[in-house]
Structure formats: structure tokens, C-alpha cells
Amino acid sequence: MNAPDPRLSINQATLKYADLATALRVTADAGVQAIGLWREPVHEVGLATAAKLLTDSGLRFTTHCRGGFFTLPEGPGRRAAIDDNRVAIEEAATLAAAGAEGSTAILVLVAGGLPEGSRDLIGVRERVRDAIGELAPDAAAAGVTLAIEPLHPMYASDRAVVSTLGQALDIAADFDPSVVGATVDTFHIWWDPDVLHQIARAGREGRIATYQVCDWKTPLPADVLLGRHYPGDGVIDFASLTGAVLDAGYRGDIEVEIFNEQIWADAPQHVVQRTVETFGSAISPLLGAPVDSAS
Amino acid sequence: MNAPDPRLSINQATLKYADLATALRVTADAGVQAIGLWREPVHEVGLATAAKLLTDSGLRFTTHCRGGFFTLPEGPGRRAAIDDNRVAIEEAATLAAAGAEGSTAILVLVAGGLPEGSRDLIGVRERVRDAIGELAPDAAAAGVTLAIEPLHPMYASDRAVVSTLGQALDIAADFDPSVVGATVDTFHIWWDPDVLHQIARAGREGRIATYQVCDWKTPLPADVLLGRHYPGDGVIDFASLTGAVLDAGYRGDIEVEIFNEQIWADAPQHVVQRTVETFGSAISPLLGAPVDSAS
């Protein structure tokens, strides 16, 4: 097996049933250099312990997953969601400081769906903009970039009312690019007839906070959340998407984030190994020679 | 129960397990004035018999479902698909002539998905444009409008590479609006942040060939094809979408097309009755007074 691509980052969701210590260990043991973490396993050990484990792992920290879920109307529920996002911003800053050199302080935002009983998609989408407006000063103060993630339109009602990269960029446009950007995840946007144009726009506007790859394949599983696959195992044209992301100037780490019951049932060491292999065959050849700013 | 809305048309897919004679009978018996047909049940009895049954029913004919599925590369498979679409065009013309006054000769086009082994979404989408270019002269000669149907992006890989109304309109733009238009189906486009703008554009460009309504609800069923519901039973904001369609100048019949195993298992008379009721409560109040061009 070749050495893992230096730009590969394992998103912890890919190792759902591993605790934080295990996820860090199997990732580092495989020679992978970076990891994106999820809040729940961080909370299990506490932020201070998580930060220490991360430092000890020697891994770069790439994203914190995830904030958002702020589509409720004004009231205690919305206040609780905003406050929780403020905590997540602080976590992202702490973890980025604890990670190895080259770590990035990015909080991925999944907007949330229509509240129970609501059909007001347009109004709910405006609430997302308002929530980000509330959080932007906190993110700026903490040096954290909020990365709005458009989710596939099949999740528009129950998970994320932000459905396209263009829509995410329209929301981000009100804010400084260092504070509000977008998450570009192939699974969610590959189908979009406007996607290459929007990736180029995201680059021009300085908004590509993180690039995540996994594959799409049908038939979808009974739970459509769990239909993600290793890069190359499905139908996504990574060449055009990755080429557009590179052309847009993105030079950061690239996460693999997979939700898939079969993959989750596998041993985490083996999942990391398969991720290294599939990234190496499906993504690395598209990346060209590493960019060395000193050369 | 009030009289059915005069603009309501029952799409035959809503009565999937009824044969043509039954579908026509239960629709007419309920006082509904119009029906959209599917090719398979028409073929079961033969076109001539189907046309006679339709005439005898006294119903308007609103659409023929469906052509398309022409995403294969050049070769015998593609030629067969194009030829089959030519047959479907002739069927649509025959049935429109057999229906009551006010019938419309519309062939709904579902593009088809990525061919086995292909990841070339961009190239496959161009094949759709090419196929419509081949068929447009036949449609024009037959007086049939080809109604490109954008399907929800969750079907982009296996069913329809046309995923948004904007994309359908971009394809249609090469052709005369009387020959190539779009199918506006709430289930497929409700999530689109650009949908109201694109409906308005479709109106300006004279492209709204047919308007179909049904509802979206989560969780999706295991087979995501079958997650459609009676209008009002889900989360779609019919007020904004229907308002936009009316503002765009659409004055035609409105089909209810539902794919749903529970609804299909119900008696067709009852399904028509529920469709009349839900259309009456969720859609009719949005339609305002009937437009009478003589007044």
C-alpha cells in the first residue's frame, strides 16, 4: 500500500462507532495526517481531554461537525440552538489550536429542516440567514469559519433547508469570507446542473472552507441518510468536481465523510485503510503535484 | 362532497392497478372532467380501443406519460428509444384528438438516468438535448408538445438526469415553445431555492406545458419513488408554487399524480374521491375564480 495522500483527512463520521481515542489512533497509525471531528464523541471525553488527545495524535484538525439546526421560530428552542452553536464555535477554536500545524478552525453548519407543522420553506430559509448573522461576530472573535453545508435536496424538509451551493453562497455573501464560507461535499451537490459554475463562484468569492468527498450510488438504502460510499464505488464524476475545486483555488485538506451502515460495521482500522486506498485511486490522481509555496 | 374542481385531472399513475376502462369510469363517475394517461395501460387495450374508450368517457385528455429514457450512447439501444418516442408522440396526438374539447396533446418526457457504468453526467445531459432535437420535428408535425419533466435530484443517477426546472428550460430554449415545454410537478421542484424565479421564467418563455401536484413528506419510504402523497398531506407550500404558476399565465388543467403503495392498494373509486377532496381543500382555494375568456 502506498503512503496515504498528504491531503486526506478522515472525517470521524466515517468511523461512527469508534470513540475519539480510537478514531485518532487508527487514523494516525495508518499514516493519515488529518482528521475532522464530531461534537458527540468530543463531548464524551470532554473538550480539554479531546484537545489533549488530538495534540498527542499529531494529526491536523480539519473541521468540527457540526453546528446549525437553527430553523425554529424565535423562542427558547431557537435561543438554545444559537447558544449551542456558540459553544460549538469555541470547541472548533480550541481543537484547531490543539491540532498539528496546518489545522483549520472550521465549524460545519447543517441548517436544519422545516420545523414540525411548517410549510414555510422560504421563511425558514431566512431564519438560517438570521442565525448566521447572530453567530458571525462570535465566529469572527474566535477566528472560526462557519462553513454552510448545502445538503442534497432529498433532505430539504427534515434536515437542511439549504439545498444548493448557490444558495449557501447567497447566504454567505452578507459576511466576510474568513467568517462564513461553504462546505463543498460531492455527495450533496454532484447532481446540480449549475455546480461547476457555483464552485468557480465559490472560489472567486473565497468561500470554499472545506472540500469533502464520498460517492453516490443507487438504489438508495431504506434510510437515505446512509447511502454514501467510498470514492470510486459509485457514479460521481470526481474529475470534474475536484478539478473545479482546484481551479477555484482550494489548497486545503480533503475529507472523506461516509454514512453507511455496512462501512460502520467494519473494523475502524480497515475502514481507514479502505479510505486511504479509494482516496488514492479515485482522488489523488486528480490533485496533481503537491503545491509547495516555497518553490 | 362538493363538485370536483373543473381544472382537476387525474393522472392515471394515481390509479396504478386499475386498467384503462376502470380508470376512465371511476374518474368520470366522480364528476372529474379530465385524465392523463400512461402508455402501458393504453397498450394493453391497443391505441384504437383506448381512443374509443376515452371518447366514450367524455373526459378531456391532459397528458400522455411518458416518453424519454434516451440517455444511451449512439447505437441500437438509442435508436430504439428514439423510435419508441416517435410512437409515443403519435399516441399523444391520437388520444388528444379522441378526448373531449379542451384536450391537450402533451407528451411528458422523463430523460432517463446515467447508463450503466457511466459517470459522465454532463455528457449524458447533452444526449437529452440531442434526443429532443431529433424528436422536435416529429412533435411539431403531430401537433404535440414535448414536456420535459425535471425530476427530483434524488433520481439524477437512475431515472432522470434533468434535475431542475431551470435546466429543463435551458434545454427547451433551443426549440419553439409550442413544441418543447416543461412539466412543472410540485413533488420534484418544491425544494429548489430558485423555483419561483424559474416558474416565472417558464411563463415568460411560454414553456409551462402542464402543472402536476402532489405532496412531499418524510421519512421517505424504502423505495423513494413511492413517497408521494395527496395534496395537503405533506410539507409542500402549494400557495407559493401554485400562485407562481398562475402568475406565469398557466390556465390549463392540473393533474394529481401520486406514486404511493398505500394509495395504490386502495379502491380506485376511493382514491379518486380522496383526490377530489384533497385537491378541493389544498389547491382549489388557490385558483381563484375560473377565467372566462368571454367575460
User: In sequence order, what DSSP letters do the residues of B43-64 get, joined into one string?
Assistant: HHH-HHHHHHHHHHHTPEEEEE
* Cβ–Cβ below 8 Å for A154 and B157: no
Nearest CA-CA distance, residue B210 and chain A, Å: 22
Task: Report pLDDT for B268.
Answer: 98
Nearest CA-CA distance, residue A252 and chain B, Å: 25
Give the helix/strand (H/E) hosting B15: none
Residue A290 — very low, low, confident or very high, per pLDDT cuts 50/70/90?
low
Nearest CA-CA distance, residue B237 and chain A, Å: 5
Nearest CA-CA distance, residue B157 and chain A, Å: 7
Determine the residue of chain A that is closest to B221 in CA distance. Answer: A222
Residue A124 — very low, low, confident or very high, per pLDDT cuts 50/70/90?
very high
Q: Considering CB atoms only, which of A122, A153, A216 is closest to B152?
A: A153
CATH 3.40.50.360 fits B8-287, yes or no: no
ipTM: 0.94
Residue A257 bridge partners (DSSP): none
Please write the tens of the pLDDT for every residue from B61-102.
999 999 999 999 999 999 999 999 999 999 999 999 999 999
Nearest CA-CA distance, residue A69 and chain B, Å: 17
* Cβ–Cβ below 8 Å for B191 and A163: yes
Rounded mean pLDDT, A89-112: 98
Residue A288 — very low, low, confident or very high, per pLDDT cuts 50/70/90?
confident
Task: Report pLDDT for A1.
Answer: 55
The CA distance from B287 to B283, in Å, is 7
Residue A267 — very low, low, confident or very high, per pLDDT cuts 50/70/90?
very high
Task: Report pLDDT for A292.
Answer: 46
Q: What is the DSSP code (8-state) at residue A219?
A: S
* Cβ–Cβ below 8 Å for B114 and A235: yes
Q: Considering CB atoms only, which of A114, A125, A237 is closest to B235?
A: A114
The CA distance from A232 to A239, in Å, is 11
B-chain residues near A121 (CB < 8 A): 190-191, 235, 237
What percent of chain A shows pLDDT beyond 70?
97
Give the helix/strand (H/E) hosting B20: helix B20-29
B-chain residues near A169 (CB < 8 A): none
Residue A2 — very low, low, confident or very high, per pLDDT cuts 50/70/90?
confident
Q: Which long-range contacts (CB under 8 A, 24 or more apart) does B75-78 make?
A: B78/B127, B78/B131
Determine the residue of chain A that is closest to B121 in CA distance. Answer: A237
Structural contact between residues B177 and B128, judged by C-beta atoms closer than 8 angstroms: no
Q: Considering CB atoms only, which of B122, B154, B223 is closest to A154?
A: B154
pLDDT at A294 > cutoff 70: no
Closest by Cα among B231, B239, B242 to B203: B242
Q: Considering CB atoms only, which of A119, A153, A222 is closest to B237?
A: A119
B-chain residues near A217 (CB < 8 A): 157
Grid cell in block for residue B47: 391505441
What percent of chain A shows pLDDT beyond 90?
97
A26-42 burial string, b = 16+ CB within 10 Å, else e?
bbbebebbbbbbbbebb
**C-beta atoms surrounding B79 within 10 Å:** 12
Please write the tens of the pLDDT for every residue from B163-209.
999 999 999 999 999 999 999 999 999 999 999 999 999 999 999 99
Ranges of beta strands (E only) in A90-196 are: 106-110, 145-148, 180-185
Rounded mean pLDDT, B109-124: 97
**DSSP labels, A163-190:** -SHHHHHHHHTTS-TTTEEEEEEHHHHT
Q: Considering CB atoms only, which of A167, A217, A235 is closest to B193?
A: A167
